[in-house]
Chains A and B, each alone.
Chain A
Amino acid sequence: MKKFINEVDDFILESLSGLAQAHPNLVSVNLDPMYVIRKDIANKKVVLISGGGSGHEPLHSGFVGHGMLDIACPGHVFTSPTPDQMISALEAYQPEKGVLFIVKNYSGDVMNFEMAAEMSSYENKSLIINDDAAVINSSYTTGKRGVAGTVIIEKVLGSLAETGANLDQCLSLGQRVNNASSTMGIALTSCTVPAAGKPTFDIGDDEVEVGVGIHGEPGRRREKIKKANLMVDDMIDVILADLKEKNVKTNSSEILLLVNGYAGTPLSELYLLFDVAAKNLKTHNIKIARSLVGNYTTALDMAGASLTLCVLDDDIKNHWDAPVLTPALRWGM
């Protein structure tokens, strides 16, 4: 393992401390228990709180700020945060109009947020995100995983909450965007969890993991690497089938295309993927109306990328375009 580390146990603490010092006008960081909150506390609107295992930066800590999240609770690497973090962060934030927990669908995250919701003294609801199209057997009751579509949902809901919308309206739009979003990823290499010190999985030089999760957990199949356009064709086929299953119309629709890197793949390759995906989507009569390319939902140092299609309507589009000011996403202000 080769990483910039002092002590493994201090990895997340020092990283969060760096985030706070790099963006002193945007976020405050508490280290024990760990949480990141907006500097300009906005507790009179619905408070959006998310979190999850660390290692997916900038998700979620980098998305705290105006027009996105109020609070992020990072766990240890690839390990869910714990209820005491959410409870302490909410105590510090003093929500007055209710709390929306935004939770990626992993059993650990779901259970920890569930216990936080039960223990919290504030009115709250929970939004479970499950945009991953990769899991084969939908009869598994743990269901689909929450992956890069989370960025779109947090951005859109952040904008809606700023307008003074109530808790039910926030939950309802969140469910709509989640349903309209579908993601499929491919890994070229494994990632290495600092505390483990060795790669999470073994993969040959000429192999890829199709449908990989954002913790390097296995997807649909292992196969030989192919040309990028063939891999993108496979990914888009899976995404379109998933959207069809969710009754989302794609033909002649406008979409937001997110090409998300897992952090170990250069931007040049991510833009190449965008080019290939754009050509493919044209043949399906799908119009790319909005786009985002970069490392937004990462898996430590894994090489690879995911594509997310979010089918837009005017509402979602307007909230996507609205101003946002966070460490990792910023436009319009």
Chain B
Amino acid sequence: MKTEFIQRCIKGITQAIIEHENDIESLDRAIGDGDHYINLKRGCLAINSMANDFNLMPPSDVFKKIGMKLLSTIGGASGPLFASFFLELSKSLENDGDDRDGFTKGFASGVRAIMTRGKSDFGEKTMLDVLIPISELLNNRVDGDIFDVATQIDRKANEAMLATKDLLPTKGRSAGLGDRALGHIDPGAKSCQVIISAVCQEILKGKK
């Protein structure tokens, strides 16, 4: 993984989040507290404005900077969750290297950090319902063609996001809603899918 690729992803993710303002916000207004989009956008813009400082840094340092910045700019539950992911990813890349194998391990430790911080697991109508299947897919296809894998991840993230519609929430602010949250996609799962898809698009651009 190259820092230049991370910088392109930062731009792509920010653009994608802004493009999905209405989706994310209407889901969060239905079963959250309506601030998820605003907080996420604030985080993305903060990372964007520091992206040029990353030029000479190795990916592990870049992810550490991203984690600390997200922690102080996003707030809410998303701040510590995203921050825990990137801080753990950074640590893992430092120990295991930042090649594809190292990133796959780092992604998995990042997801585990979210599970610990949020005391949550798969099937509880949260961002983890997207992140856990993606982590598994990355791990299973660690030797696969990068463009095939990116296409598969994009598709899987979309399916996993849609599947949260029928889940009963037990974590996060929508937990208090019980049955009333059925039929709504989880806003955290939606934003994670948007982010993951944006990264996949960046990878697939290399194919053209």
Give chain A's interface residues, CB within 8 Å of chain B.
33, 53, 75-84, 106-108, 111-112, 114-115, 134-137, 140-142, 145, 193, 195-196, 200-201, 213, 215-219
Is the pair B79, A77 in contact by a Cβ cutoff of 8 Å? no
Q: Using Cβ atoms and an 8 Å threshold, which residues of chain B touch A216?
A: 33
- The CA of A135 and the CA of B170, in the complex, are separated in Å by 12
Q: Would B72 and A78 count as touching, CB distance under 8 A?
A: no
Q: A195-B38, A218-B177 are in contact. Are A107 and B171 (CB under 8 A)?
A: yes
**A108-B77, A145-B176, A196-B38 are contacts. A82–B71 as well, Cβ < 8 Å?**
yes
The reply to whether B35 and A82 contact each other, CB–CB distance below 8 Å, is: no
Apart from A33-B72, A115-B71, 9 more pairs, CB < 8 Å: A75-B75, A78-B35, A84-B72, A108-B80, A112-B75, A115-B80, A142-B170, A200-B34, A213-B176
CA distance A215 to B76 in the complex (A): 13
CB contact between B76 and one of A80, A84, A135, A193 (< 8 Å): that residue: A80
A115 and B83 contact, CB distance less than 8 A: yes
CB <8 Å contact, A218 and B180? yes
Please give me the residue from chain A that is nearest to B78 by CB atom.
A108
Q: Residues of B contacting A135 with CB < 8 Å?
A: 176
Q: A108-B77, A108-B79 are in contact. Are A142 and B171 (CB under 8 A)?
A: yes
| Contact (A111, B71) CB under 8 Å given A79-B76, A140-B170, A142-B172 | no
Interface residues of B in 135-194 (CB under 8 A from A): 170-173, 175-178, 180
- Compute how far the CA of A136 lies from the CA of B178 in the bound complex, rounded to whole angstroms: 9
Interface size on B, residues (CB 8 A): 32
Q: Are B173 and A107 in contact (CB under 8 A)?
A: yes
Interface centre among A75, A106, A108, A137 (most CB of B within 10 A): A108
* CA gap between A114 and B72 in the complex, in Å: 14
Given contacts A79-B35, A195-B38, contact A111 B81 (CB under 8 A): yes
Q: Nearest chain-A residue to B181 (Cβ)?
A: A218
Identify 28 residue pairs between A and B in the complex whose beta-carbon atoms are under 8 Å apart, listed by A's number: A53-B75, A75-B75, A75-B76, A76-B38, A77-B35, A78-B33, A78-B35, A80-B77, A81-B75, A82-B79, A83-B71, A83-B80, A107-B172, A108-B77, A108-B78, A108-B79, A111-B118, A112-B79, A115-B71, A115-B80, A140-B170, A142-B173, A142-B175, A193-B34, A196-B29, A196-B35, A200-B34, A218-B180
- Bound form: Cα–Cα A12–B83 in Å: 24
User: Nearest Cβ in chain B — how far from A198, in angstroms?
Assistant: 9
CA distance A160 to B32 in the complex (A): 37
Which A residues touch B100, using CB under 8 A?
none
- Contact: B71 with A108, CB < 8 Å? no
A141 and B119 in contact, given A79-B35, A79-B39, A213-B176 (Cβ under 8 angstroms): yes
Q: Is there a chain A Cβ closer than 8 Å to B8's Cβ?
A: no
A115 to B85, CA, bound (A): 13
A80 touches B170 (CB 8 A): no
Residues in B neighbouring A115, C-beta threshold 8 A: 71, 80, 83
For B73, the chain A residues whose CB sits under 8 A away are 82
Report the Cα distance A108→B71, complex, angstroms. 11
Minimum CB–CB distance from A24 to chain B (whole Å) comes to 28
CB of B46 to closest CB in A, whole Å: 12
The CA-CA distance from A79 to B38 in the complex, in Å, is 10
CA gap between A133 and B119 in the complex, in Å: 23
Q: Is B117 on the interface with A (CB-CB < 8 A)?
A: yes
Q: Write the nearest CB–CB distance from A50 to chain B, whole angstroms.
A: 16
Inter-chain contacts of B71 with A (CB < 8 A) = 82-84, 115
With a CB–CB cut-off of 8 A, which chain B residues contact A219?
176
Docked pose: A300 CA to B35 CA in angstroms: 14
Contact code string B111-131 (vs A, CB < 8 Å = 1, else 0):
000000111000000000000
Q: How far is the CB of B186 from chain A (nearest CB, A)?
A: 13
Whether B29 and A200, one on each chain, are in contact in the complex, defined by CB atoms closer than 8 angstroms, is yes
A81: chain B residues at CB < 8 Å are 75
